[in-house]
Structure 1
């Protein structure tokens, strides 16, 4: 085992790799920081001055970076949903949806903690994966309350107009929200419940996957299912209450002549009217079908032509990669070590490489890739591993898979 440092001042040095694994439930970031602080405190005391040490892998730092990225995406997704509701319905409806989403995420995280899951990349991905579904219930309820209020206002305006009613204008009291909101929620209650449980039925079987991937994938269906159930409860209890408080005396501009609904209606009419016309509509519909068929055919050709790569997981721009060396059976250890040294000399000349660790005849410390492919079972004179550490992705132009 040896450690190689890239660059003009680099070189190769005999090394010992010390792997430290956290206990279940512990915070990987805190453990990694504590280990490095402890190692620094031992320098020039327990660790002699002639012995140097370097951090070659810090999955706590990786987890922290990924968690921050996922949290940013979660906040962006929530803000995008609220902004869309604001544009389509109004600021008060957007505020109701925003409160419902934040409350749903908070309660879901608490339920996830109570279930025994930690806040990690998988659980955060589950929330991002289901954010579009979590907001559906609240949006459906708020939009239907909004629609009923607009219909009530329109009916009152017609009754108050002497030109349409045929009598003198009469005054009416404001809409009775206590009667409108239950009716609006009841109208969409059944379909919303059915849609929620349909999605749960599609996701939940993933929680029963066995084997190596079972515990790894379990937080996704469980967190998403819990979040959907909680969002359904919040949509039927908290959202109507907030609508009762915030939607009274609200001018419904989205339904007016100059509102967004009117503009969207004009766009839809221009697009679909030619397709539905009695004269010439059939030909245009056939042309539309041919166009859709052509697009589907082109999309199916993309993987065949190599323009789209089919993978189980997307490329991830990591700061490390592993080189696995398999020499012919019976190769002596010295020859395998010589091959690894040649590879190391080449890697040391690459500007993106910081350092590397070479293992001849033994397996490198286990990582997720090695766990899946059982690299930890590799041993013998003909096998070798190299752990290559790259500069941070902010300091290089090429992604790791291109390097």
Structure 2
């Protein structure tokens, strides 16, 4: 299948040519035809599967640029995600004549100026964070009652970050006859009441990725048992000369701790977590893109909310409490066919989480740090296979043999051994009797035959 199958308008085709897109991804193949038929859809798929263009292409294809009214509203849970969608939409709109107006309404920008612009002209496509869009609605500056499509991107992340109430209020300002598209990596139970409230019998499509991780990623597992984790991270960062490395931790406190340690070792490190102000975060991101920093320490906000190009190494200082984030973290590297290395530090207590990841198709290569180098390690699942010829035991003796493995009194060990030996002797005696009887019967038959 190619994009020509969808019979998009020429400006969409031209935009795709500039991007170098020729074949749609699986999520695009399955959902674009449904969106073109104005069906409401819940699309469950991982980050990096082409979700943004899945909804932008068919929705922008039916925009009427001659109308001065909002026709599509898109919400995203973070400024960075909203800006990524906005940039993708602007690229497509750049080929439209008349021009399709796309706006990006996110926090940290000049709201007063946005209100003034909206009083003169409404955009065709509204993209933004739930909080800022709701602010503009409450100011009666933004008018969305004319929209025919509403997209909730990264719905599970929207729920996690506490923005679902704002999305609920935005949905309440939209017309009843509305196409609703919800995209989410997972469908948590707490999200279902929202879906039920606004979507009548939506089509639910779950797109499972064919490869959990990119084939260009080397995925290594390193034990922290008996070692200082921060010291290990420092060694891993300095031995491979990464182009750009991201270290992920679960909490702001852990990010601060790792950052302080690495700085004390003389590394220039950027940190990104929820307590960093939006303005500061934007400045840090700009510096990272300009390669002012080679090392970034971050919480999972950076895994799904921020797209950093050129990441050569990802280090999981600890496994995420929500294993879904593991894929998002590791997916920061190995993009666009480039090689990448992901290193996960784990403690024996993490074994259950490692097994759970392996069950969904994540494959690890065990490594260990030796003399400043990462070398192949033993497989933590190795099993000692020793073939022993054992006489089958009577069920009553199995318990005794198991007890023999425990620390018990020497006299009792001898007692167990005698019982086992007696059982084996008795068995051999029965076998000899059976053999004798068989021989006698055979001899008798031979005599009768003569």
Both structures adopt the same fold (TM-score exceeding 0.5): no
TM-score by length of 1: 0.21
TM-score by length of 2: 0.19
